[in-house]
């Protein structure tokens, strides 16, 4: 009788272990929803990943957060209505603002984010070229620098005075 109780207990524990595995695949999002979700930022404010790729790596929880799941459900609902990718993304932009973009659009003010790295690279190269040019410029010799001339007699007199003042 104890063996049958062990088997029942083992079957119960095994069934509890299989429940999370079944729950993971309970709602599979369409491939198109995941592709569109890759263009949308997960708005949970915790992962800074795309909604289609949200995984919250590390820690006790690993997988898409509830916000990403909700966003993908919304994308699936929009797809069921027959909306295009641009219409779906525009709906999310209307809801969350331009922060929902994973990468900024290549038009309007978002174009600045695409152009600035090239601008800074050109500026940096110009600065390096300027510094190297300054280093390689020939410097005037020390002898050609004109300064106040002091006669040898004045130097001898000042050395003698310094020697007298510093003697114990």
Q: Which residue has the higher pLDDT, 166 or 20?
A: 166
Do residues 96 and 41 both lie within one domain? yes
51 near 40, Cβ under 8 Å? Answer: yes
Does one domain contain both 44 and 111? no
Structural domain including 118 reads: 104-135
Residues 97 and 43 sit within 8 Å (Cβ to Cβ): no
- List, for residues 57-66, the tens digit of each pLDDT value: 655 556 677 7
153 belongs to a structural domain: no
Alpha helices in the chain (DSSP H): 2-24, 31-37, 66-80, 85-96, 110-136, 152-166
Is residue 128 domain-resident? yes
Q: What is the pLDDT of residue 101?
A: 83
Q: Which residue has the higher pLDDT, 139 or 14?
A: 139
Query: How sure is the predictor about 38, in pLDDT bands with cuts at 50, 70 and 90?
Result: confident
Q: pTM of this prediction? A: 0.52
- What is the domain count for the chain? 2
Give the rounded distance of the alpha carbon of 106 from its chain centre: 19
Taking 50 as the threshold, does the pLDDT of residue 160 lie above it? yes
Q: Are 24 and 36 in contact (CB under 8 A)?
A: no
Query: What is the structure's pLDDT at 44?
Result: 81
Q: Which pLDDT value is given to residue 26?
A: 47
Considering the domain architecture, whether residues 89 and 54 belong to the same structural domain is answered as yes
In a domain, residue 43? The reply is: yes
The string of pLDDT tens digits covering residues 91-149 is: 988 988 887 888 877 777 778 888 899 999 999 999 999 999 999 888 766 555 566 77
| pLDDT given for residue 117 in this prediction | 92
Q: What is the pLDDT of residue 25?
A: 46
Last residue of one domain, picked from the residues 103, 120, 152: 103
Q: Is the pLDDT of residue 3 over 80?
A: no
User: For the domain that residue 38 is a member of, what is the CATH number?
Assistant: 1.10.8
Label residue 85 exposed, middle or buried (CB < 10 Å: 0-12, 13-18, 19+). Answer: middle
């Amino acid at each position: 009788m104890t063996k049958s109780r062990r088997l029942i207990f083992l079957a119960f524990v095994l069934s509890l272990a299989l429940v999370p595995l079944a729950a993971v695949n309970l709602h599979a999002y369409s491939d198109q929803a995941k592709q569109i979700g890759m263009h949308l930022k997960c708005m949970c404010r915790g992962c800074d990943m795309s909604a289609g790729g949200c995984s919250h790596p590390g820690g006790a929880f690993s997988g898409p957060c509830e916000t990403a799941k909700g966003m993908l459900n919304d994308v699936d609902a929009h797809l069921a209505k027959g909306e295009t990718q641009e219409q779906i993304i525009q709906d999310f932009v209307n809801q969350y603002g331009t922060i929902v973009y994973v990468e900024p659009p290549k038009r309007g003010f978002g174009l600045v984010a695409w152009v600035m790295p090239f601008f800074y690279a050109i500026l940096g190269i110009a600065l390096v070229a300027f510094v190297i040019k300054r280093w390689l410029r020939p410097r005037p010799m020390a002898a050609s620098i004109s300064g106040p001339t002091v006669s040898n007699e004045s130097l001898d007199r000042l050395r003698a005075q310094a020697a007298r003042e510093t003697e114990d």
